[in-house]
Amino acid sequence: MKVIAFNGSPRIEGNTELLLKATIEPIEEAGHEVRVFRLNFMKIKPCQDCGGCEKTGLCIIKDDMEEIYNAIREAERVILASPIFFYGLSAQSKIMIDRCQSFWCEKYLLKRPIPSGPSGRKGLLILVGGMKNDRGIDCAEASAKAFFRTISIQEHDVLSFKGVDAKGAILEHPTALKEGQEAGKRLIS
Ligand SMILES: Cc1cc2nc3c(=O)[nH]c(=O)nc-3n(C[C@H](O)[C@H](O)[C@H](O)COP(=O)(O)O)c2cc1C
């Protein structure tokens, strides 16, 4: 099964990365290769709304999104992991998502949705926020849901933790890593 994961956190060994690692562990143990894109370290320009993708479904900007486009097309499982920044997804996550406007054009204007593949397509959203309220989680999930539907993922699971702020604090959470592992197992079941 082809599994890809987006890490939208700039913090190395931060909460998102640690939780993502725990989630990926059982997937790799089951023999599936997981390709992780650390968005903060990639060269990805924001969408220019140039309309270049409207007739072809292809983005005209040539940068690191090219490898992501191919990976999304082939993926059967997609994990999006992001910290909550200003009540939404991190900029690193959002820039990548906005560039998927080309898939939106392909699906809705050109009527060519990404095909399902042998094991279907499923998503997992992982969110970590420092605040104790749900608003940031809800806003981030709305964007992520639009992303998943655009890339023809009809079904996604959500794993979110609030009140987790300091670097590495997720390790002190009583259930987070275990819940990550369980979500990873469910994703490939
Ligand atoms: C620029 C910035 C904005 C943030 N905004 C929010 C926010 O709106 N809501 C929230 O719950 N946490 C917010 N936080 C806290 C982070 O979500 C929190 O520290 C999280 O654990 C970071 O995950 P990471 O270690 O993977 O980077 C913000 C942090 C930064 C750096």
Average pLDDT value for the chain: 97
Average pLDDT score over residue span 139-158: 97
Name the closest-CA residue to atom 15, ligand 1.
Answer: 130
Radius of gyration of the chain (CA): 16
**Pairing mode, if any, of strands 122-128 and 155-161?**
parallel
User: Is ligand 1 within 6 A of the CB of residue 135?
Assistant: no
Ligand 1 center–CA 87 separation, angstroms: 9
Cβ-in-10-Å burial (0-12, 13-18, 19+) of 27 comes to: buried
**Phi-psi sector, 109: left (phi>0), alpha (psi -120 to 50), beta:** alpha
Lowest-confidence segment of 47-61, 107-121, 144-158, 172-186 by average pLDDT: 107-121
Question: What pTM did the predictor assign?
Answer: 0.98
Confidence of residue 116 (pLDDT cuts 50, 70, 90): confident
Name the closest-CA residue to atom 28, ligand 1.
Answer: 85
Residue 184 pLDDT more than 90? yes
User: Is ligand 1 within 6 A of the CB of residue 38?
Assistant: no
Q: Which amino acid is at 68?
A: I
Alpha-carbon gap, residue 6 to 172, rounded angstroms = 23
CA-168 nearest atom, ligand 1: 25
